[in-house]
Amino acid sequence: MADKKIKGVLFDMDGTMFDTETMSIYIWAATARYYNINISREFMMECMGLSTKAIGEKFDKAFGDVLNYETFRSAKNKVMEEIVEEDGVPHKKGLTEILDYIKENGIKAAIATSTSNERAVYNLEEGKVIQYFDEVISGDMVDKSKPEPDIYLLAAKKLGLRPEECMVLEDSKNGIISARRANCLAVLVPDIIPVDDEMIEAADYVCEESLEVIDLIKRINK
């Protein structure tokens, strides 16, 4: 994708904005142990970036004869809420600086997360960053989950922008492929998901640290 002026930044949430993927893996594993089911780390990683509906379908296919996903998800979310209420939502390094820079320079911002709207708003409020965002687009607002482009196309539309005017910040394979398919500027900011060739190929840029995003926007918009 040729460089264009960046007028909007579309943020994935978990693993990109918030340091929640490691916590999520722990909670998945703890909940699985409680119900005495064996969920591999590989399975958990494959679920990252998927919508709640898509995860539910995947979970029920693998474990539905023992436990349905709604029961598992309810227990898992209860543990997550207890941790968040006790410790807050951990920011990724540089998040506030990126959000301040975007706001100060008149660039629009939206969340495009595969999680539910209720969960997204809860995390943004608890993380004390919801005021930075013009729109919050969640997985339950689109028919098709990442890696399909629907969520980023909707986020750009809600901001009143063309996809090619938007930069996407993503950490997952499903997410970065979704951004590329939407024709947004796809920026990979790696987290705990191992980066493979498919992710590198889908990304227009790779920023090893979140703060590199500010310099990238400056270069593109100079």
Rounded distance between C-alpha atoms, residue 115 and residue 94, angstroms: 22
**Number of C-beta neighbours around residue 156 at 10 A:** 28
pTM metric for this prediction: 0.83
Task: Provide the pLDDT for residue 39.
Answer: 94
Task: Provide the pLDDT for residue 81.
Answer: 86
Task: Provide the pLDDT for residue 190.
Answer: 92
For the chain, the helix, strand and coil percentages under 3-state DSSP, each to the nearest 5: 50, 15, 35
**CB of 11 closer than 8 Å to CB of 109:** yes
Which tens digit of pLDDT belongs to each residue from 175-219?
999 999 999 999 999 988 889 999 999 999 999 988 999 999 999
Tell me the pLDDT band of 171, cut-offs 50, 70 and 90. Answer: very high
Which tens digit of pLDDT belongs to each residue from 10-27?
999 988 999 877 788 889
**CB of 200 closer than 8 Å to CB of 170:** no
Task: Provide the pLDDT for residue 155.
Answer: 98
HSE, side-chain direction, 13 A CA sphere, residue 81: 11
Task: Provide the pLDDT for residue 186.
Answer: 98
Task: Provide the pLDDT for residue 90.
Answer: 87
Instruction: Please give the mean pLDDT across all residues of the chain.
Output: 92
